[in-house]
Amino acid sequence: AELAAGLAERGWVVISGGAYGVDGAAHRGALGAGGATVAVLACGVDRPYPRGHAGLIGRIAEQGLVVGELPPGDHPTPSRFILRNRVIAALTRGTVVIEAAYRSGALATARSAQELGRFVMGVPGPATSGLSAGVHELLRGDGVLVTDASEVVELVGDMGELAPVRRGPVVPRDLLASGVRRVLAALPARGLAAVRDIAIGAGTTEDDAVGRLYELQSLGFVERHGDGWQLTRQAILSVCAEGKES
């Protein structure tokens, strides 16, 4: 639902099959975001299927489209779902398969999309889950791993529509100038270090290292003891926290 909502918010039309599970979640996500969505049925459009989604399919008809290649009055059959999937693939610029098992109908849609030269993407669940097996198989081939709407748009959108670079949370060390960071990185995790050793480790002169060390001292990263310098507890904890988040 979150992925579909993100795409709808960016002006993309979400197309799915109206079924229970991921299909329904995709339609609801798009509708909830005020976007357009299309349900492709494996039966006549006058026979909403599954029946439990009659209300949802009605909402889709109001806010988007309900389509099918079968004439009114036709009932769904297993083979018609496979045929329906190829229509979904043909109507889209790209197909995203989410947590699909080996025999999932979504993989049939993905195969049709590949045959049509469309983009195929996958969002797996837990690595050991049977519901991820089909997506893993897809990703071992020509499928592309995506995690959110921006990555989908980067692949299927117009030139220049790039996903933002993923970054971890900003930590105090990130705000330091590069020369200051090099001096900080040259200090050992435990114990004192002489200015000469710090300067060598940072690739700078002793005079420059001393100036950087006093700047770090004013910021609470280091402390001086006689002729030696060492990291403060604050700096050590900051490094540990950064390591856990990376």
**Top-level CATH class of 172-245?**
mainly alpha
Domain regions of the chain by residue span: 1-91, 94-166, 172-245
Q: Are 57 and 66 in contact (CB under 8 A)?
A: yes
Helix (H/G/I), strand (E/B), else coil: 98: strand
Confidence of residue 163 (pLDDT cuts 50, 70, 90): low
Please state the rounded mean pLDDT for residues 157-181.
Answer: 68
- The predicted structure's pLDDT at residue 246: 47
Distance, CA of 57 to chain centre: 28
Reading the block at residue 175, the tokens are 């705000």
Q: How far apart are CA 218 and CA 216, in angstroms?
A: 5
- 176-226 pLDDT per residue, tens: 888 898 999 999 988 999 999 999 999 999 999 999 999 999 888 999 999
Q: Which of 42, 27, 30, 28 shows the shortest CA–CA distance to 6?
A: 30
What CATH number does the domain located at 1-91 have?
A: 3.40.50.450
User: Distance (Å, rounded) from C-alpha 167 to C-alpha 50?
Assistant: 42
Residue 169: the pLDDT is 59
Q: What is the residue-averaged pLDDT of the chain?
A: 87
| DSSP-assigned letter for residue 199 | H
Does position 159 have pLDDT exceeding 70, yes or no? no
- pLDDT, tens only, 117-144: 999 999 988 888 888 899 999 999 989 9
